[in-house]
Amino acid sequence: MAEKTNVIRCLEQKGIPFQVHNYIPTGAVSGAEAASALSQSPDRVFKTLVCVGRTGAHYVFVVPVSGELDLKKAARSCGEKYVEMVKSKELLPLTGYVHGGCSPIGMKKLFKTAVDESALEFETIFLSAGRIGHQVELSPLALESVIPLTFEDLRACP
């Protein structure tokens, strides 16, 4: 990667071991397409979703690209009556990231963050490096030392 992203700067600043992986995006890239481009299981590649609660507070949820966020579980995890996804146009001004390149690391503000507990099944997981076509691979426990977070059951049942 020629240019460092906020994600990479944060990880380097904290001395967290990580690897950068790049792939060439093919148009609108889904998480499953990113996992395939990286030759990884979609259970090991995680997407970052930003929600807003009934109180107006924002929350970040990190779930495998193989699944969907259960909004009821997400709301319970942050003590809200309900949460909904933020609109795409609100993502950049709120987080500093665009849709498809959003990472829980290096956002403009620190939001309450929950990661699906399935991340703990892997030695390392993949997250957006803050730009479409770029991912970082790091330990889920290392992620916990970069940003305050909880590991919770967040996925919707199939």
1 in a structural domain: no
14 in a structural domain: no
49 in a structural domain: yes
pLDDT in tens, 14-31: 999 999 998 876 665 688
How many structural domains does the chain have? 1
State which residues form the domain around 54: 19-152
The CATH number for 126's domain is 3.90.960.10
34 in a structural domain: yes
Band of residue 12 on the pLDDT scale cut at 50, 70, 90: very high
Tell me what pLDDT residue 1 has. 45
In whole numbers, what is the pLDDT of the chain averaged over residues? 92
pLDDT in tens, 29-79: 688 888 888 889 999 999 999 999 999 999 999 999 999 999 999 999 999
59 in a structural domain: yes
Tell me what pLDDT residue 120 has. 97
- 3-state SS, one letter per residue, for the chain: CCCCCHHHHHHHHHCCCCEEEECCCCCCCCHHHHHHHCCCCCCCEEEEEEEEECCCCEEEEEEECCCCECHHHHHHHCCCCCEEECCHHHHHHHHCCCCCCCCCCCCCCCCEEEEEHHHHHCCCEEEEEEECCEEEEECHHHHHHHCCEEEECCECCC
Tell me what pLDDT residue 27 has. 60
Is the pLDDT at 158 greater than 80, yes or no?
no
